[in-house]
Chain A
């Protein structure tokens, strides 16, 4: 399944602001840790030169049937996704990437200086998140109504196996160079696919207030969980 109307957008490092505190969190360090901060400063320039921000998205209708969600790329049996999109009649399908060069840096420094590989990997993770935040702000402006947070294949009970159909619906290989490996990993690795619900004006207030964002929404225990 491939969608009719897909938009492709680009940005450069000048357009996307990476939050150092986020990068340090992905490095497994406290946000005031001086050695980690120095490492970040040492690597951010080369990383920024490597990023090639690309994304494609499409707006499409969504229907609900009992516990499954009907989307253009398939009928998804996921109660969590259904709950997440409740009250929405349209969604954005989004795929975004920061490109291959950061993977090359991570691979290079894994062999040479693993501390720097750690930093590049963290900066890459912070970059794709920042890029997605920026895209969502842009989409929200386009839609003119509130949006739900991003919900990706693999979240909750939304099976990761939908990734392939999701990406081919957005024609990501040709448009932004985003592919899946045999094992279902996204390549470039610093990439995100997500569904974002477009809230209809009437449902907006109720469902938004009940929807917890990001880490607070997740039931998994993980080393990178955001702490306030």
Chain B
């Protein structure tokens, strides 16, 4: 069976032009879904397809762009009916047209029309299903390919490709829509899109809609620079403009085709038109193509990783992989994970980003923790606060797949090794989801003593990877640095291995700090070894970006090796790390408020100054418990009372609470270190109800409660009633706070309260949110209505005072 991919390998492939806009000129009402005409006017749809075949299209899109089950909810035809009818039209057009050339039909799939989480409410897996159902129906009805187009969000693109690949065997073409700033609507760059889509195994990638051929050229050329797959370009007929009160497009068919010539010469192999283009545009395009030779598609050697906004290139200068999100040897992180405190993980991620990390390692290996679900949670949480690419670090194949699935980009996969079992488990996942795979040079026989032995394992892994279609450029080999205290040749062997691997065309990374195991002053050895490894050609290192010696080595090396033009990174690093950190103190004292010096600092939200003072007091022998009772809590009470009186406002209340939380963290650590238990003031649960994604109010309440020393289980936003109940039951929680912003989500709040009261009669529910009133809160059965965040704190104090 010939397929369109075979044609692309030899020649150009020409798609059709606009169909929705064409059907409108043929009488379709502007408001009517074009797909309804598959049933109401099949002869018109068929004629349009045929006109495109006649004009020279090799492949036309069945009229199925908006046929996802979610969009069709309000239409009287069912999905199956509309898709069947669409293919009826496309087949009729193809069967009636013979010129001896092979003609194809694509299943056309547009965006769902709803935004995916975390920006929107659509769940990723729900999107995968919607796209998958469409793809399956396309295949069933005789499509030759799937065209996913007009996508403006990387996460939706990922869901679409996964859906299409999991539910059909057809080749998948994916086109995204860039705006005038060369970004997707949700922010991704061209490079990030290429990395993601090629990683997912899209057969053809490209651009459509949004721009005309002239405006699209820059993005198309950028894509061609990095793409190893065929690139497709399907612009609008110029930019829309107003003429005699009607929107029209600003260039003629001939001008359109002529404007396509530069991208054809830059290597685009699949061409067509989008909004406003007609069979005449395609005819003109064909004419231009008849005089052009297809440019060969050459696999590019750039190694790309990506997040939902940008790509990073492995191989230009060494990249830093922050190692701190790994519970091994980190009691504070262990505690956070046990308490499901994802906020702590987020903070650790941002701290590393601020310290200069390019990539963040995510490891959730902790006995007693469900690793697969923890890694998914960690990745989802991190994706809300940082746009760095992530490295998914687990030895568990199930956890690896969960992480790869929900990650919005092309990640680092840590890791595979030369053992048969490892390669069989990890390589298929890398092939399916995309990623750069960290390959450890060890196998069933252990770690080879020699550099040559490690190279041999790298080659073995590379050969196996190639069988899965994973290119060598997407392997990052770690030749494993062992402790130099145990084996004096360990460092030299690792450095030699790096050189051999690099000469053999591999990319290399290392976990640097192993080298100093068993030695005093480990930082000194680590930093020196790191410099040597970079000099040997290291492309990435996993390390602690908070370790000053390592960062000094790093920025010094960049400056010395001509990888830091005019030493600007080095100078910026030095400027950000002066030897003595002086905290400037804002001049304005708060009005009408008095307390001790420490309390005043708390009231002004000077977290680091407060912590420095506390540190000194603790060293002088102060009792941490007494500091909480005599300094922190009184300061909070001053702020709370002033807020209630209207002399201090919400911003300052929050600043004070943040400083108090930082102070509490410090004091609690000290109390635990002294071997005593901290007094838990009580644990409560907060959630924004199902359907509502406005959670700023809830987050403010959470900050205040934490500053008062309460432990908060935050279930986040858009939380179904059942989830709230299960969490409360599991953790034996007796006080629950619910928030809702919109009138439309108040019924969900009422249902949640009813379920909680029915199943947990002892449980109290506090509610708050912009649209609530005392009266309404009473009517939906809430136990307490909190008009402000402080009201919740007061009620909580009262509740736990009565229940202890």
Contacts and interface: CB of A to CB of B under 8 A. Distances in A.
**Which 5 A-B residue pairs are closest in the complex by CB-CB distance?**
A1-B31, A183-B691, A29-B649, A177-B185, A115-B654
A111 B122 CA distance: 21
A80 to B, nearest CB: 16
Interface stretch (B218-226, B567-575, B739-747): B739-747
A5 B245 contact: yes
B655 interface: yes
Given A29-B649, A35-B605, A185-B694, A113 B658 contact: yes
Interface stretch (B3-11, B109-117, B470-478): B109-117
B193 to A, nearest CB: 16
A214 B246 CA distance: 33
B651 A35 contact: yes
21 contacts: A28-B651, A29-B650, A35-B655, A39-B655, A104-B384, A106-B696, A107-B118, A108-B386, A111-B343, A111-B347, A111-B699, A113-B658, A115-B605, A118-B654, A121-B696, A154-B743, A174-B177, A174-B209, A177-B152, A179-B113, A181-B691
A100 B700 contact: no
A101 interface: yes
A14 interface: no
A224 B346 CA distance: 31
A104 B119 contact: yes
Nearest to B350: A112
B242 interface: yes
A152 interface: no
B31 A183 contact: no
Interface string B40-60: 000000000000000000000
A36 B648 CA distance: 10
Contacts of A106: 696
A101 B655 contact: no
A37 B30 CA distance: 48
Interface of A: 1-8, 10, 27-30, 33-36, 38-39, 52, 72, 100-101, 103-104, 106-108, 110-115, 117-119, 121, 154, 160, 169, 173-174, 177, 179-185, 187-189, 222-223
B649 A160 contact: no
Contacts of B654: 114-115, 118
Interface string B173-192: 00001001100011100000
Given A5-B245, A28-B650, 15 more contacts: A10-B180, A29-B651, A33-B651, A35-B652, A101-B187, A108-B350, A111-B347, A111-B699, A114-B700, A174-B150, A177-B185, A182-B691, A183-B745, A187-B693, A189-B693
Given A110-B695, A181-B115, A118 B649 contact: no
Contacts of A103: 119
Contacts of B31: 1-2, 72, 169
A104 B185 CA distance: 13
B385 A118 contact: no
A33 B652 CA distance: 9
Given A111-B385, A115-B605, A185-B694, A3 B30 contact: yes
A27 B649 contact: yes
Contacts of B693: 181, 183, 185, 187, 189
Contact of B590 (A35, A110, A169): A35
A56 to B, nearest CB: 11
Interface string B683-703: 000000001111110011011
B588 interface: yes
A138 to B, nearest CB: 14
Contacts of A3: 30
Contacts of A1: 30-31
Contacts of B247: 4-7
A187 B350 contact: no
Nearest to B702: A114
Contacts of B386: 108
Given A30-B649, A35-B651, A35-B655, A4 B185 contact: no
B692 A183 contact: yes
A30 B652 CA distance: 11
B716 to A, nearest CB: 10
Given A108-B385, A169-B31, A173-B113, A114 B658 contact: yes
Interface string B238-261: 001010011100000000000000
B651 A36 contact: yes
Interface in B556-604: 586, 588, 590, 604
Contacts of A183: 121, 691-693, 742, 744-745
Contacts of A160: 743-744
B120 A181 contact: yes
Nearest to A222: B770
Contacts of B228: none
Contacts of B119: 100, 103-104, 187-188
A29 B770 CA distance: 16
A10 B179 CA distance: 11
Nearest to B118: A107
Nearest to B247: A5
Chain B CB within 10 Å, residue with most, of A10, A114, A179 = A114
B148 to A, nearest CB: 15
Chain A CB within 10 Å, residue with most, of B111, B181, B187 = B187
Contacts of B742: 183-185
B381 interface: yes
A101 to B, nearest CB: 7
A185 B688 CA distance: 14
A118 B381 CA distance: 19
A111 B114 contact: no
B122 A182 contact: yes
Interface in B482-505: none
Given A28-B649, A36-B649, A181-B121, A118 B384 contact: no
Contact of A115 (B150, B180, B242, B655): B655
A121 B694 CA distance: 11
A181 B342 CA distance: 25
Contact of B121 (A33, A101, A182, A188): A182
Nearest to B275: A174
A38 to B, nearest CB: 7
B420 to A, nearest CB: 42
Contacts of B745: 183
Contacts of B177: 174
Contact of B381 (A27, A111, A114, A181): A111
Contacts of A27: 649-651
B652 A5 contact: no
Chain A CB within 10 Å, residue with most, of B150, B347, B381, B693 = B693
